[in-house]
Amino acid sequence: MMEEMGELYFKNAYITRFESEVVSCTEGKKGLYEIVLKDTAFYPESGGQPADHGVLVCDGVTVNVVDAKRVNGEVVHITDGSLSIGSCVSGEINWERRFDHMQNHCGEHIVSGLIHQHFGYENVGFHMGEVLTLDFSGPLTEEDLLMIETEANEVIYKNVPVEILYPERSELDTIEYRSKKELTGKVRLVRIPDVDLCACCGTHVRNTGEIGLIQLLSLEKHKNGSRVTMLAGKRALLDVQKKQAAVHKISVALSAKPYEVDTAVERLKEAYVKSDFSKHEVVRRMLKKKAQEIEETKDTIVLFEEDIDRDDARLYAKDVLETGKCHTAAVFVLNSERPEDTAYVIVSDTLNLRDFAKEMNTALSGRGGGKEDMIQGTVSVSKEEIEKYFNS
């Protein structure tokens, strides 16, 4: 937690350009290099916050900083090129990435602080990926989440200052603050008045209004507590815009007002279920009629249908068997989209189909099985090969 003299992001999180000197440069893994500078504004990955990206420029040579990490107390810049030791360099931070991290990290402080205030839970895990993942030490409900989200955005509206403190050890012992681990040395605290006080080495905005927006996206049980995902800042805005665009398309497609699309979708779902049920009724009646109209009488009747589901095929096979015109009824369902994937259902009142399945699957490149009086599965041969097998 101690502030290093050469780590400029501690002094000013808004710094984007700086001058420095190359202390060391060694070849790393996968064709990358590891560069240490005398001073740096590049934040190294730490505490769940990803590293800064950007460039280093020296004598007309530009190398990209693709990662940064702390190794033995030093910030190591992972770059795609090398620089000479002792040379002077100009560094430039990818500001959009840095400010995104500042907005989201500060947003996390607000959410964690409010949850700690209301429920006494600790933040026991934090990760900043495409979304932010926050793990808390106790259970939360969707209603709790809505309340926290509302209060978090009210903190943004108030535009309160985000303060960085370095209390003396004697003072620190009397302060109640959040921290995931026991700290030694000089401790850096981030304070959002009336909201949160937390030990943290990350980068943050100066005032909560700069966060813009906080969204709590999901809640699930995690170990003995809760896992919350969230977005803040521009990420949250882009997410809202994307969802709004999707709602607008659904609204137009269903001729429903945006705030009524959920009701419109439910009506559509109910209509689909009814129509699907009606479609199956029609198919089953048609197949039952076809079964009754079979004229031939033989030991095994083999039938082919296209694109019916397995339940319909099973009922069709049973209907054929019940006509008494055969002892074994085999229904093969030809798939118009995948001709090589033909489903089958076979029923019999004389054959032991469990034994028959092994023989047929071997001959027709099939797989499946079942009971002595009914089997089902798929074969990977043509209709002509199936007919040849049963006629042989």
Of 40, 71, 93, the residue that ends a domain is: 93
For residue 260, being part of any structural domain is answered with no
B/e letters for 344-380, b = 16+ CB within 10 Å, e = fewer, are bbbbbeebebeebbeebbeebebebeeeebbbbbbbe
Q: Write phi, then psi, for 382 (nearest 5 degrees).
A: -75, 165
Q: Which two tokens stand for residue 247?
A: 């709602």
DSSP assignment letter at 194: T
pLDDT of 244 above 70:
yes
| Mean pLDDT on 246-255 | 87
Q: Has residue 331 got a pLDDT over 90?
A: yes
375/282: higher pLDDT: 375
**What are 347-367's pLDDT values in tens digits?**
999 999 999 999 999 999 999
Q: Do 334 and 368 have their domain in common?
A: yes
In a domain, 257, yes or no: no
Residue 289 · residue 315 · CB < 8 Å: no
> How far apart (Å, rounded) are the C-alpha atoms in residues 309 and 285?
14
Q: Does residue 132 share a domain with residue 14?
A: no
Task: Kindly state whether residue 380 falls inside one of the protein's structural domains.
Answer: yes
Residues 323 and 370 in one domain: yes
Q: Which of 40, 49, 33 is nearest to 89 (CA)?
A: 40
The answer to whether 56 and 83 have CB atoms below 8 angstroms apart is: yes
Question: Does residue 100 surpass a pLDDT of 50?
Answer: yes
pLDDT of residue 165: 93
Q: Which candidate, 98, 96, 106, 90, places its Cα nearest to that of 68?
A: 98
Q: 261 or 376, which is more confident?
A: 376
Indicate the helix (H) or strand (E) that contains 61: strand 61-71
How far separated are the first and last CA of the chain, in Å rounded?
82
Distance separating alpha carbons of residues 305 and 331, to the nearest angstrom: 7
Closest C-alpha among 232, 161, 229 to residue 195: 161
Q: Tell me which residue of 378, 372, 332 sits closest to 355, measured CA to CA.
A: 372
Based on the fold, state whether residues 113 and 224 are members of the same structural domain: yes
For 17-54, write each residue's pLDDT tens digit: 999 999 999 999 999 999 999 999 999 999 889 999 99
Q: What are phi and psi of 318, to 5 degrees?
A: -65, -40
- Report the CATH number that the domain containing residue 56 is assigned in CATH: 2.40.30.130
Given a contact cutoff of 8 angstroms between Cβ atoms, the answer to whether 189 and 176 are in contact is no
Which domain CATH number covers 299? 3.10.310.40
The answer as to whether 250 is a domain residue is no
Beta strand pairing call for 54-58 and 33-37: unpaired
In a domain, 275, yes or no: no
Other beta carbons within 10 Å of 141:
10
Q: Residue 206: inside a domain, yes or no?
A: yes
- Count of the separate structural domains present in the chain: 3
Q: Which residues contact 149 (CB under 8 A, 6 or more apart)?
A: 214, 215, 216
Same domain assignment for residues 141 and 108? yes
**Which amino acid would we find at residue 203?**
T
Instruction: At 230, list the tokens.
Output: 């969230």
3-state secondary structure of 104: helix
pLDDT at 74 over 70: yes
Whether residue 143 lies inside any domain: the answer is yes
Q: Which long-range contacts (CB under 8 A, 24 or more apart) does 196-200 make?
A: 196/109, 196/110, 196/112, 196/113, 196/114, 196/116, 197/113, 198/109, 198/112, 198/113, 199/1, 200/47, 200/105, 200/109
pLDDT on residue 267: 83
> How far from chain centre, in Å, is Cα 151?
26
Gap between the Cα atoms of 111 and 236, Å rounded: 14
Same domain flag for 34 and 121: no
Q: Which residues contact 270 (CB under 8 A, 6 or more apart)?
A: none
**Which pLDDT does position 184 carry in this prediction?**
67
Residues 27 and 64 in one domain: yes
114 and 232 in a common domain: yes
CATH number, position 203: 3.30.980.10
Query: Helix and strand tally (H, E) in the chain?
Result: 9, 18
Please check whether residues 187 and 155 belong to one and the same domain.
yes
Return the structure tokens found at 228.
């919350």
With beta carbons less than 8 A apart as the criterion, state whether 251 and 234 touch.
no
pLDDT tens, position by position, 127-161: 999 999 999 999 999 999 999 999 999 999 999 99
Asked if residue 263 belongs to a domain, the reply is: no
Q: Maximum Cα–Cα distance for the chain, whole Å?
A: 100
- Mark whether 70 and 183 lie in a shared domain: no
**Is 33 found in the same domain as 77?**
yes
Phi-psi region of 194 (alpha: psi -120 to 50; beta: other; left: phi over 0): left
Which H helix or E strand runs over 373?
none
Nearest Cα residue to 212 out of 229, 194, 190, 237: 237
Percent of the chain with pLDDT over 90: 75
Residue 40 lies in domain: 8-93
User: What integer is the mean pLDDT of 360-379?
Assistant: 94
153 and 131 co-located in one domain: yes
Is the pLDDT at 13 greater than 50? The verdict is: yes
Which of 241, 260, 281 is the C-terminal boundary of a domain?
A: 241
Which of 70, 93, 116 is the C-terminal boundary of a domain? Answer: 93
